[in-house]
Amino acid sequence: MLAPLNIAGIVIIAYNQVCCNHCRFCSVGKKRFDDISFSQFVKVMERFLEWKEQTNKIDTFAPFILYTHATMNYEQSKAYRELCARGSYRPLPLQMNGCIFMPQDDMYSLLERHRRAGYDRLSLTFCGNRSVHDLWAGRRGEFDFLLKIARIAAQLGYHRQEQIFLSKSSIPVLDELLDQLDELPGEHTRSIYPFNYIGFAQKLENERINSDDLLSVPDKAKPYIELIDGIHNEPYRSESEWIDWVKKNYDNDAPRDRFLGITLSEESLPQLLSEDCDKIYDDYYTRFNNVYQQIPEITELADRFGDHDNDKLYALYELERKWVEAYVTKHLADFEEDYRISDF
């Protein structure tokens, strides 16, 4: 069985906004849209927040509106931030990838109302220069649109977080991309790292880099390269190195923190609005834990499913996911529950 389960928090996810991209690496995977109003989202959140405050069963409660909540009005944006604060969750910066194209003035007023509501950070993710980015995002024009957003955000005093994916396709164009980003006004931070092994990105293994690829990274990009996984503070290593590391060092008994994801949909809404939150939590936890208990420990999975010939770089949690997926795919018939309720 996998290491004991420690639920660090709950994430309530609503897919009630439209994302205009079709990213090849999308962590969400297949797109969906649920017709959930903002007020329904708030009602569910308030129920769970009251329950959290009364029971103290979890530390963090994160409201999460996918894909982007940039279309929310001022009152909604403010209410959203208040929900985050009540749940002890720091809201993510405004995620601008996938935002619907709009004229300059409309974008200005969009960013201005979120600024008034309390946002001061904004996030832009780049997959490469203009042509590589647009290809990966599945939308022609997104690269230029993001640059336009960056300029407006600078006028409004946003701090810009730039993420750049490190891939076989991006390395040759990093110089050109950085030249363009360096021309943008405004305060910013920048990090360059491999894309996460999740969702559609699991099918992009031919784009994942190995140590040799790092030799081709231009000097200009080197100060921004981050090859430490920020969640667990672990380095990126090749799969073959991780297998050896896991065999020698992995503590199968150390609890790994997990977040319980509850998706708000037309089907789940009636239950989430009426049933006792304690019961809902216990039901989800039991289902999550049942799945967990059917999966062998990580050292065994590494031994059975690890690929010793794979020199591509991963964070350890990505390989845990890869090996768990390999196990589940092989034993699908044994799983009564949809194992995806638990985010490995």
Point out which residues bind ligand SF4 (CB under 6 A): 19, 21-23, 26-28, 67, 97-98
C-alpha distance from residue 176 to each of 37, 104, 223 (Å): 42, 25, 16
> Least distance from C-beta 19 to ligand SF4, angstroms?
3
By the 8 A CB rule, do 311 and 229 touch? no
Order the strands of the 256-264 sheet from edge to edge.
60-65, 5-14, 256-264
Task: Give the list of residues 6+ apart from residue 154 with CB closer than 8 angstroms, or none.
Answer: 160, 184, 185, 186, 187
| In the complex, least distance from residue 31 CB atom to ligand SF4, rounded to whole angstroms | 7
Q: How far is the CB of 186 from ligand SF4 (least distance, A)?
A: 21
- Pairwise CA distance, residues 131 & 22, whole Å: 15
Q: Which residues are CB-neighbours of 279 under 8 A, at least 6 positions away?
A: none
Smallest separation, CB 95 to ligand SF4 (Å): 7
Tell me how crowded residue 137 is: count the other CB atoms within 10 A of its CB. 26
Distance CA 229, CA 212 (A): 19
Of 96 and 291, CB closest to ligand SF4: 96
Which is closer to ligand SF4, CB of 21 or CB of 77? 21
Name which of 28 and 100 has its Cβ closer to ligand SF4. 28
* 193, β-bridge pairs: 165
Instruction: Determine the residue type at 51.
Output: W
Q: Pick the closer one to ligand SF4 by CB: 28 or 154.
A: 28
Least separation in angstroms between CB 13 and ligand SF4: 12
> Helix (H, G, I), strand (E, B), or coil: what is residue 146?
helix
Task: Quote the CA–CA distance of 143 and 130 in Å, as a whole number.
Answer: 5
Q: Is the CB of 24 or the CB of 188 nearer to ligand SF4?
A: 24
Structure tokens that stand for 91 in this block: 């809201």
Residue 64 Cβ, how far from ligand SF4 at the closest point, in Å?
12
Q: How far is the CB of 327 from ligand SF4 (least distance, A)?
A: 26
Whichever of 27 and 71 has its CB closer to ligand SF4, that residue is: 27
Least CB distance to ligand SF4 at residue 128 (A): 14
Looking at the Cβ atoms of 67 and 327, the one nearer to ligand SF4 is 67
How far CA 273 is from CA of 41, 63, 262, 276, in Å, comes to 10, 15, 13, 9
Closer residue to ligand SF4, CB minimum distance, 27 or 299? 27
